[in-house]
Amino acid sequence: MRKKLVALMALALVLSLCACEKNNTSKELSNKDADGENTRSEVSNVSQESAQPEDKPKTTAFERYFKDEPFWVQDENGLYGFIDQNGNYVIEPQFYNIGDKYDLFSFGVAFVQDNENMPKLWGLIDTSGNYILEPTFSDVGKFTSDELAYVQDKESGLYGYIDPTGTYQIEPQFTEARPFIGGLAIVSKGYGYIYVDTSGEIVISGGFEEANDFCDDLAAVKSWGAWGYIDRSGVFVIQPIYDTVYSFSDGVAFVHDMDSGDGYSLIDTDGNYIIKESIYTPESGTPNDGENAAKWIEGLCCVFVRADDSYPELGFGYAYINKNGEKVLPKDSTYYDKTWGFVESDSGTYAVATDHASGLYGYIDLNGEWVVSPQYSDGFVDRSPYNGIGLVDEAKAYIDMSGNVLAKVDAPLSFVSNTYISNTYNINILSAVSDDGKYGYVYADGSVALDFIYDAGSGFAADGSYAIVQYEGLYGAIDMDGNWLIPAEFKSMQAIYAFYQK
């Protein structure tokens, strides 16, 4: 249930922020009940007039979604095609697979996988579905800001890089290839990893066992079984002496010495120890992965704390340290039973935390002060206070960062999605799920807006113009009255993946 809630909330958050859509021609297709009769929920008379701004955008979020590119869908046979805002196909379903589902038509082109032949090869199409490059590739990457994507030649099995016109900028010559980031790509010719520039010239020829992208002008690489850091000339600035490393962020990095215990050390970009063999393990980031450094917010990093002889009173828990390696939160000698790092929002920067003495949940600010006193227990507390909104009381109540209850939904609902308030439009409508597992929509006072007839349902976009729902096993889009903007005819569709976007 908790995983399901997290996925729903994440989808709802992005859809409530979503501003990449185009034209609004709604279809008046009503929902059907179990007997096949048309049914549509009566929307309660909660006034929205006072919440509407004087100068509304000329287009809705739903309309803007289709502004620059068609919307991908997967038909009941599993083939991919593309539709317009009315649900009509502009590119018929014909592809076995498509490229980056989260950012498909970057630079106006998309990789698609042919369904007609074996093996199924990749080609490149434009937004009208015309092939720029016929399916000839065994593997493809994605176009990055350097406007290059790697492709694997089907005949030789080697990788090269093309631009959005389909022209090779770097001919196939590599046995492995990764995306360009900051003008450099990590590739291999079969004898370790090297770095090339956008012309294909080798700029770092170390032949490393593992290699990561540059962060703070240093890249973590593995050589002779140990990790260290090189600069952009390929010289080791920090010698390979670690078994586990994080990429640099804000001038510091967590590392683990090969002969030390459980705790991590913190070093600067010269390799100097700020703290050595500490009792801390970073809560965020991924070790030995160049894309996921430990996260620092306003100079603070959330860490897991383990007890040792020097700090027996700490036990096990969570704390925040500064870049000097000093524990700053909590301010006393205790720790938080749970906390997941600070989140920046329009109204400030806050973190969910549990009080060590009581075990209750509340919210803290960057000074460690309780902006919402610890008072909530036995329920999911939103880890990401979007626009300063928290989710408490078994996910049935929304609070602001002063502890005021903004919305509360009572039984029989199991939980509601985190889309209660948009700072722009104040749309008080929430996605919810009943005890029998069906989704519907409720207002802030808990009254039903749309009946519980859906298999799944996202939150509405910030302006209330649309939500993505699953009905009788298929996906479509509805407006706030339950009318179908896009009928539920698809096995999968683009907005399902929107919450993964960064």
pLDDT digits (tens, 9 = 90+) for 396-445: 677 788 888 777 766 555 555 544 433 333 346 777 777 788 888 888 77
Tell whether the model's pLDDT for residue 89 goes beyond 50: yes
Output 256 or 406, whichever has higher pLDDT. Answer: 256
Distance between CA 418 and CA 395 in Å, rounded?
Answer: 9
pLDDT at site 496: 57
Mean pLDDT (whole number) for 175-185: 97
Residues 6+ away with beta carbon under 8 Å from 240 = 221, 222, 223, 224, 226, 227, 228
Distance between CA 439 and CA 496 in Å, rounded?
Answer: 16
Strands (E), 55-192: 71-74, 80-83, 89-98, 109-114, 122-126, 131-140, 149-153, 159-162, 168-174, 176-177, 185-188
pLDDT at site 329: 95
DSSP run (H or E) holding 8 = helix 2-17
pLDDT at site 27: 32
pLDDT at site 117: 82
CB atoms within 10 A of CB 281: 16
Mean pLDDT (whole number) for 24-35: 35
Report residue 184 as tokens.
């450099």
Mean pLDDT (whole number) for 46-67: 60
pLDDT at site 231: 97
In this structure, is the dihedral angle defined by the CA atoms of residues 471, 475, 478 and 480, taken in order, positive or negative? Answer: positive
Output 191 or 26, whichever has higher pLDDT. Answer: 191
| Contact call for residues 313 and 263 (beta carbons, < 8 A) | no
Output 182 or 460, whichever has higher pLDDT. Answer: 182
Output 494 or 239, whichever has higher pLDDT. Answer: 239
Tell whether the model's pLDDT for residue 499 goes beyond 50: no
40 phi, psi to nearest 5 deg: -145, 130
Tell whether the model's pLDDT for residue 454 goes beyond 60: yes
pLDDT at site 8: 40
Using alpha carbons only, give the angle 151, 96, 70 rounded to the nearest 5 degrees: 85
Rg (CA), the chain: 26
Question: For 212-216, 243-247, 287-291, 491-495, which range has the lowest pLDDT when averaged over its residues?
Answer: 287-291
Output 312 or 193, whichever has higher pLDDT. Answer: 193
Residues 6+ away with beta carbon under 8 Å from 4 = none
Distance between CA 488 and CA 68 in Å, rounded?
Answer: 23
pLDDT at site 21: 34
pLDDT at site 387: 58
Confidence of residue 290 (pLDDT cuts 50, 70, 90): low
Q: What tens digit of pLDDT does each residue of 336-379 get?
A: 988 888 988 777 899 989 988 888 989 999 999 999 999 887 55
pLDDT at site 59: 85
| Per-chain mean pLDDT for the chain | 81
Q: What tens digit of pLDDT does each residue of 298-330 get?
A: 999 999 987 655 555 555 789 999 999 999 999
pTM score: 0.80
Q: What tens digit of pLDDT does each residue of 469-488 get?
A: 999 999 999 999 999 999 99
Residues 6+ away with beta carbon under 8 Å from 55 = none
154 phi, psi to nearest 5 deg: -70, -30
pLDDT at site 334: 85
Residues 6+ away with beta carbon under 8 Å from 447 = 44, 46
pLDDT at site 382: 54
Tell whether the model's pLDDT for residue 53 goes beyond 70: no
